[in-house]
Chains A and B, each alone.
Chain A
Amino acid sequence: MDDSAKRLLQRFMRRIPTQMLKTTLEKWSRLTVAQQKSLDFTQSKWALTEALLDICEENKWTTKHISELEMIYVIDNPNQGMWHAFQLMDPEDDAHSVELTQFKEQFKSHLSELIRHVSVKIKKHTDEAVWIRIAWGDSYSRPNHLKPTYVVHYLQTPYVFVTSLTSKQKPLLSQALVLSTRHHAIKDANLSGKKFTAIRDLLMRQYQQAFPTKYPSPLKEKNQTVSNPLIEREQAGPAANRLQMACEAFGDGMLPQLQSAVYKLETKFRDQTNKTMTEREESFRCVVKFASTNLLESLRDCASSGIASTPVTPLLSSIPLKGRNYFVITDNSPGPSSQMHQKTDG
């Protein structure tokens, strides 16, 4: 067992919580029943690592086997690191018929044509997702297994999710992906977050959305005795209306756990009470970041409680509607520099 395999196992052991170790090793299914039994999971991590290193040594396992183990753990616990979403564009006619074996072969061969030292491992997960682990090297050095890139692609969809990718590796990965999925281009989907499941659900619309028809009437008869039924009824109307608009904008029930959204505003400062600034030529540059443990639920609560005015501004409802959380907002005027033209006056 060489040094890099040893280090990979040690790092893996540091990362994995002890209570998950047993099931992950079972899924790996490389240990014999006797070896599995010999491991005492109540021992310290250090002792367990030593025991595992011995077993690996005995079986002459290499980086290949250890990275397999790491991959099993990452697939089961994808909500770590920073995930970025990408979208494949302009599919060729046969893009819909790309299946796993073909994709696997093509991806590996395209990538190794682009870079000499690279190690790729591809695994199909139960939910149709193809998981790819890439350990990068360069012309002079062997693949570094300690800093792998993980890529998740749902076959026959344009969606790709990536974590730990450097700007140097990005064009290589993009080209290999575009070629092997039979597309012409790939673009940044402007969506990123720590929870892989959340950004996947948001982009692939795998959550409960609300439609106007779902709410038959904002006014409901209530049988409760209230101090002043007239006031109660008068307030119930707008409140129910706000809730409905909030749900229409952000969704109903549990929402994907998106943690942040960033807006880069390059718009003019307009304020009737401030002539000097309104007449100013340049735009008012600022960056606004919204953050919460569940951003969409927070924003829905803002709208339903009245902190945010309803109807919800397109800027905020664009997060679920367009499935992105990074926006550059400029005034709706012709200009090559703007990434997204959005009228901000509502």
Chain B
Amino acid sequence: MERQHNSVVRTPLNSVVVQRRSKSKSYRQSYRSCLGAASRLGLTPALTARRLNTSRRAPKSHNITDKVDPEQLTLLLKTEWKLSYVTPLYQFRHTQLKSYSRQLSAFIAAEKQQGLAVDAEGSQSSFRVSFSVVQGMTETADDAETVLIQIHSKPMFAKQDDPQKLVWSGWLACINGNPDYLSSLSKDFICLPLFGSSGPEVLTTLVKSWFQQMFDCCFGPLEISHTSLQWLVALWTNCHTESNIQHLRMIWTLPVTPPLQITYTVDAQDAWELWSSVRKDPEEESEGGEEVEEGGSIDLKEVMRFMQGLKNHFYRHFRLDLSAGSLQQVSTALGSAKYSGRIKVSSDGKNCSQSFSQDTFLLTHTRKDKCCTNIFFLSF
């Protein structure tokens, strides 16, 4: 059993490296070289390890509503965002947002008139773009402030005095960015590496191409890896005592013909009890010589033991090995994440909030009675 665990732990490490190499985008390369440099410089193994997904800080209490306007936060909740990565933006200025709003509106109108992009009826309605800053949606002083973009438009058959409706929204964020990487950038660049969008694909394409032309950057798809999804399974379950997760739902697909989809939904309390049973003893932790942080840390080994426990229970009944398939989606009452790079954070009120960055995924959830927030860091 022990040997099996070791091999399970090693696999994601390798796959992370392989995945990074296979991407030829310059941003990815600079990011990797930065990582490499960091380890050569002899930074603590703990830092590198965290970046490579073997261990994470346990959720810590944090009140995001102190920092971020709750009204702005609600704009980010309950919406499913399609994630992309963005290379650093050349000469992007947070002070120029009003001008960007005008320019992007004009750009969309011009593109529509060319008939390049969309349906005919769209050309009649005008689009109003607004850029705004989501103040406080950062973790460190080096992080650039999150930028929210909203596009309003009139519905096709709207009357003259009907108000414009929100048809598209998106944001660019950097939360807990790698400080070494951020400081290595020239002053002309602003790093907002994570792009989330929600709305018609045509508008997403237009916004992306405007950014590319204006700030000389590139966009690329961001999948949520199998390992990250497994982390979410554990991290969300770990939340259950503070905020009811209602259920733990995982969706696998199996490569048979025709493809088989398996939805495995576990009772919240039972999932939590299984999770606590696979957590390591505090003694074992100190034996390992690891730094004991406040609230403890979560180790990839524990995540894998949890997943294995869930898979074993499934196999005992169906004699069907879930490892043969791939985990496609994870969801609880706190949110959902899909392999295709779509993510949603739900809430049971105003008290829940979230933000994302490419390198880190920050998820926060506040309790109704106590204004505390859990923050998780996931390296994609």
Q: Of B262, B267, B312, B324, which one neighbours A271 at CB under 8 angstroms?
A: B312
Q: Of B258, B274, B312, B317, which one neighbours A297 at CB under 8 angstroms?
A: B258
Interface residues of A in 287-346 (CB under 8 A from B): 287-295, 297-299, 301-302, 305, 307-309, 312-313, 315-316, 329, 344-346
Q: Which of A269, A276, A316 counts the most B-chain CB atoms under 10 A from its CB? A: A269
Closest to B267 in A: A285
- A41 proximal to B (CB < 8 A): no
Q: Of B258, B314, B317, which one neighbours A329 at CB under 8 angstroms?
A: B317
A213 to B347, CA, bound (A): 58
A67 to B75, CA, bound (A): 48
Q: Is the CB of B261 within 8 A of A291?
A: yes
- How many residues on the B side are at the interface (Cβ–Cβ under 8 A)? 31
Given A274-B309, A298-B258, A344 contacting B317 (CB threshold 8 A): yes
Given A294-B258, A302-B260, A287 contacting B265 (CB threshold 8 A): yes
Chain B nearest CB: distance from A117 CB in Å?
A: 39
Contacts of B264 in A (CB 8 A): 286-288
Write the A154-167 contact mask toward B (1 if CB under 8 angstroms, else 0).
Answer: 00000000000000
Given A286-B265, A286-B266, A307-B256, A277 contacting B277 (CB threshold 8 A): yes
Closest to A280 in B: B273
Contacts of B317 in A (CB 8 A): 263, 265, 267, 288, 313, 315, 329, 344
Q: Is the CB of A297 within 8 A of B257?
A: yes
Q: Is the CB of B319 within 8 A of A308?
A: yes
A319 to B312, CA, bound (A): 22
Given A284-B313, A302-B320, A313-B319, A289 contacting B263 (CB threshold 8 A): yes
Chain A nearest CB: distance from B267 CB in Å?
A: 4
Closest to A288 in B: B264
Chain B nearest CB: distance from A111 CB in Å?
A: 38
Taking chain A's interface residues, is the majority helix, strand, or loop, or is none over half, making it mixed?
A: mixed
- A225 proximal to B (CB < 8 A): no
Q: Which of B1, B270, B278 counts the most A-chain CB atoms under 10 A from its CB? A: B270
Q: Is the CB of A288 within 8 A of B309?
A: no
- A273 proximal to B (CB < 8 A): yes
- B318 proximal to A (CB < 8 A): yes
Q: Is the CB of B316 within 8 A of A274?
A: no
Taking chain B's interface residues, is the majority helix, strand, or loop, or is none over half, making it mixed?
A: mixed
A267 to B261, CA, bound (A): 22
Q: Of B261, B278, B319, which one neighbours A274 at CB under 8 angstroms?
A: B278
Chain A nearest CB: distance from B309 CB in Å?
A: 6
- How many residues on the A side are at the interface (Cβ–Cβ under 8 A)? 41
Interface residues of B in 265-312 (CB under 8 A from A): 265-267, 270, 273-274, 277-278, 309, 312
Contacts of A316 in B (CB 8 A): 318-320
Contacts of B260 in A (CB 8 A): 290-292, 295, 298-299, 301-302
A291 to B258, CA, bound (A): 10
- B259 proximal to A (CB < 8 A): yes
Q: Which residues of B contact A (CB under 8 A)?
A: 1, 254, 256-267, 270, 273-274, 277-278, 309, 312-314, 316-321, 324-325
**A269-B274, A298-B257 known; 15 other A-B pairs, CB under 8 Å?**
A269-B309, A271-B309, A273-B312, A274-B274, A274-B278, A276-B277, A277-B274, A282-B270, A285-B266, A286-B267, A288-B264, A290-B260, A292-B259, A298-B258, A313-B319
24 A-B pairs in the complex with CB atoms less than 8 angstroms apart: A265-B317, A269-B274, A271-B309, A271-B312, A274-B274, A284-B313, A286-B267, A286-B270, A288-B264, A289-B263, A289-B265, A290-B260, A291-B261, A292-B259, A297-B257, A298-B256, A301-B257, A302-B260, A307-B254, A308-B320, A309-B320, A309-B321, A316-B319, A345-B316
The 3 closest A-B pairs by CB, nearest first: A301-B256, A285-B267, A276-B277
